[in-house]
Structure 1
């Protein structure tokens, strides 16, 4: 289920305005191939979007069992609804079906909503198993399963009331703890993002 990853130019090298950024480190972002295929060469105004390398997007979106993702109430209250939605539209995450390239370069239709529903079901099943048999071994297994499955935000949502499990999830996804985007005690999203690298237009959320 884990999507293939690809390195994306945030501001596309194919547009003359950003051609000089082709090999600039801060213009690279690791993302799934589905998002990259949808984004293509769309213009990205950094100040008009929420980006995971410079904003705390964990605070920006709500995930629900029906597979939908939408700007969160918190982001909306801070006046960031439009920025959050622009990012969804940029990557096609608000659509049920998107067209992406598979590992052979062929275009395929990807049902993102069904993917999120499937992962939500896995997370709920793991939560139920834990309720029946709460052991350290099972907790380690669930954290490993989450890492292999992806969809970090869904796992964090399903285990919203289990701080220990959320700590394990944070530690299972490389770089998440180091980002400083989650409180080390409560595991709640920290806002604004620490933006440790001082990236341009970072820390909007």
Structure 2
């Protein structure tokens, strides 16, 4: 029983984002959810700006701004979700996030199954 309890505590299985409980929950709060929420808010604002500027002379500048924001805030999946209707932006995001395999996406930046994959989509 002591080994199970030790494992439970080591893995902080009693963790709650609100900081209540035992283990690391009462000592150190996990702030990743706040950073994800912040990235979502920034991405949504960037999408609004993109919608206003994509057909203007400021298109390239706004694309560059989006790339910089995405690199700075991270959470590539959030940016891909917010810009799901914008293949050009998604292609750019695929390029700027290190470790993103380009062969996992088609020409419209839609996820595809790799030929050698054992996992399905």
TM, length-normalised to structure 2: 0.67
Corresponding residue of 1:160: 84
For structure 2, the 5+ residue unaligned runs are: 1-9
SS of the residue aligned with 2:28? Answer: strand
- Structure 2: how far apart are the matches of 1:141 and 1:122? 11
SS of the residue aligned with 1:176? Answer: coil
**Greater gyration radius:** 2
Corresponding residue of 1:138: 62
Q: Which runs of 4+ in 1 moved over 6 A?
A: none
- Structure 1: how far apart are the matches of 2:110 and 2:28? 36
1:41-80 matches, cutoff 5 A? none
Distance 1:124 1:203, change over 3 A: same
RMSD of aligned residue pairs (Cα, Å):
2.9
Higher relative contact order (CA 8 A, sep 6+): 1
1:162-177 matches, cutoff 5 A? 162-177=86-101
SS of the residue aligned with 1:187? Answer: coil
How many pairs align?
Answer: 100
For structure 1, the 5+ residue unaligned runs are: 1-39, 42-88, 101-106, 196-201
| Pair 1:149-2:70 in alignment | no
Deviations 1:83-104 (A, max 9, x none): xxxxxx9xx9xx746859xxxx
